Structure 1
Amino acid sequence: MSLFWRIFALNAVVLGAATALLLWAPVTVSVPVLLTEAVILVGGLAVMLVANAALLRLGLAPLDRLTRLMTTVDLLRPGQRLPAAGRGEVADLIRTFNAMLERLEQERAASSARVLLAQEAERRRIAQELHDEVGQSMTAILLLLGRVAGDAPQPLRAELHETQEITRGTLDEVRRLVRRLRPGVLDDLGLVSALTSLTQDFATHVGLRVTRAFDTDLPALPPETELVLYRVAQESLTNAARHADAEHVTVALRRTGDGVTLTVTDDGRGMRAAHEGAGVRGMRERALLVGGRLDITPSPGDGPGTRVLLTAPAAAPPVRKP
């Protein structure tokens, strides 16, 4: 039944019931109208309006559900659909909206894949330039400072040694930045070694106490899935240190059925707002690229903190390329 005829039928039922009640009810209207008769008529009108409103609410309930979904739908949480049974304009509208959501999710996933692939390529290029240009130049400066310091007089030699130490520290910082931009250990030694190096780096330079718990029987993962797991762990550690003021973080990598689960739990301030920043949205986009699911919840237990849970299948779909 179309929406027009549905509303017409609902109003016809209410008006028909009111007409039947007037025909068979032993009620007469005097001229002038008595108070009791006016009360009965007003009460009947109120009952008719309430019944009409209730029936219309029932008939238009699918549109209300569609409106709520339109206002709350998130393309980074795919699969949100409404059942569309039967025929009519409302069912056709719901089916059309579901098809539109499907198309938008596919287009969002494809565009996100292109953006993230370009981002990784740019990170790789910057890391390579830092390693080849800046790193080699600073290494040459260190060697030159060492030779000059060996022939310099004592007061100047101490200053040259201090400059050499500053340069060495800056070179170490550049190398650490290169590792964060493009983790070579991930390509060479695998995910577990890369996560171990990442957590050690945070523990050394940020001051976090990091506990690791990695299963030994992890399945073989595609390179895209390993990179997504690494980036989500990196972003979670950064948020724990920069925004949550956490002191202790636990990073766990478990085998679950036909996939893996990465869990990053901190003891920071916890989730203070429902709004998600660019970092969290980026993690959700990365999770969708490999067919994974990202959940961010308060830490289990009574204390504050946040838990980031990423579940990814071992046989993840390939990253869509432009």
Structure 2
Amino acid sequence: MQSEKDNISSYIIQSQEQELKRIALELHEGVGQTLYSLYTGMQLIEGTVDKSMKGYMKDMTQLLEKTIQEVRLLAVELHPPTLTTLGLLSAMKTYLKLYTSTYGIEVDFHVSGDEVELGEKERITLFRVCQEALVNIAIHADTMKATITLVWETEKIFISISDSGKGFEVETAMKQSTGLASMIERMDLIGGSCIIASKPQEGTSIEFSLPL
């Protein structure tokens, strides 16, 4: 019965990922490219208008630039293109740059060991749980700094994400947050583990481990 439930959950997640990949591509190739064309056009116009309009044009150009950044982050959040082509590490680096520029949270990213090629399901899962943890920090932790440690070992990959923010009572949060439960379920479906440790005013640490 449990195996059947896991198969259904895995199928649902796979279907969702395929749809997210399609939407991300449309955002990047469609909306993103259109906005960038508008942005370059606005820059050209800005240099030709009189002084009374320059301030307005500059504000519009900056707004477009901010919108392009937000669309890029959304596309990467939905499905980072480098995750398929270059692997987990490259996808994480790309995401963290956009994450910091969007949320203003500096992330210390430490990596040790030699990267091991992972299957698509494992790559997507590890990226998603890291993404969930980082978004939670941005929304709930009330901090401007986070730390990620990624360790490639012979028999497993280990990822730790921590912050020194507000923290929370884990037992209470597990009953209220589908995001926390989702991280645990996703890791369980690929044979990994997720350990969440937190206390109010003492920050949060989340550890992911996956046998290789």
- Give the TM-score band, short-chain normalised: 0.7 to 0.9
Q: Aligned in 2, Cα 1:212/1:147: closer, same or farther, shift over 3 Å?
A: closer
**Displacement of 1:189:** 2.6
Q: Aligned in 2, Cα 1:199/1:171: closer, same or farther, shift over 3 Å?
A: closer
- What 5-or-longer segments of structure 2 have no aligned partner? none
Q: Which residue of 2 aligns with 1:139?
A: 36
Which of 294, 297, 310 is the aligned partner of 2:208?
310
Larger Rg: 1
Residues 44-88 of structure 1: per-residue CA shift (max 9 Å, x gap): xxxxxxxxxxxxxxxxxxxxxxxxxxxxxxxxxxxxxxxxxxxxx
Q: Aligned in 2, Cα 1:147/1:285: closer, same or farther, shift over 3 Å?
A: same
User: Which segment is superposed worse, 243-252 or 284-293?
Assistant: 243-252
The structure richer in strand per residue is: 2
**1: CA distance, partners of 2:48 / 2:105:** 43
- Give matches, 1:57-96, under 5 Å: none
**Displacement of 1:235:** 0.7
Which amino acid in structure 1 is aligned with residue 9 of structure 2? S
Q: Which residue of 2 aligns with 1:176?
A: 73
Residues 174-223 of structure 1: per-residue CA shift (max 9 Å, x gap): 11211121111222332222222333333333232322221132332212
**2: CA distance, partners of 1:268 / 1:161:** 36
**2: CA distance, partners of 1:312 / 1:216:** 15
TM-score scaled by length of structure 1: 0.59
1:272 aligns with 2:173: no
Contact 1:245–1:269 (8 Å) recurs in 2 = yes
Contact 1:219–1:259 (8 Å) recurs in 2 = no
**Displacement of 1:116:** 1.0
- What 5-or-longer segments of structure 1 have no aligned partner? 1-102, 315-322
**2: CA distance, partners of 1:247 / 1:163:** 28
Which amino acid in structure 1 is aligned with residue 204 of structure 2? T
SS at match of 2:197: strand
Contact 1:109–1:285 (8 Å) recurs in 2 = no
**Displacement of 1:159:** 2.4
Contact 2:39–2:65 (8 Å) recurs in 1 = yes
Q: Aligned in 2, Cα 1:132/1:287: closer, same or farther, shift over 3 Å?
A: same
Which amino acid in structure 1 is aligned with residue 140 of structure 2? H
- Give matches, 1:85-234, under 5 Å: 103=1, 105-234=2-131
Contact 2:115–2:152 (8 Å) recurs in 1 = yes
RMSD between aligned alpha carbons?
Answer: 2.2
TM-score scaled by length of structure 2: 0.86
Which of 282, 289, 302 is the aligned partner of 2:182?
282
Q: Percent identity?
A: 28
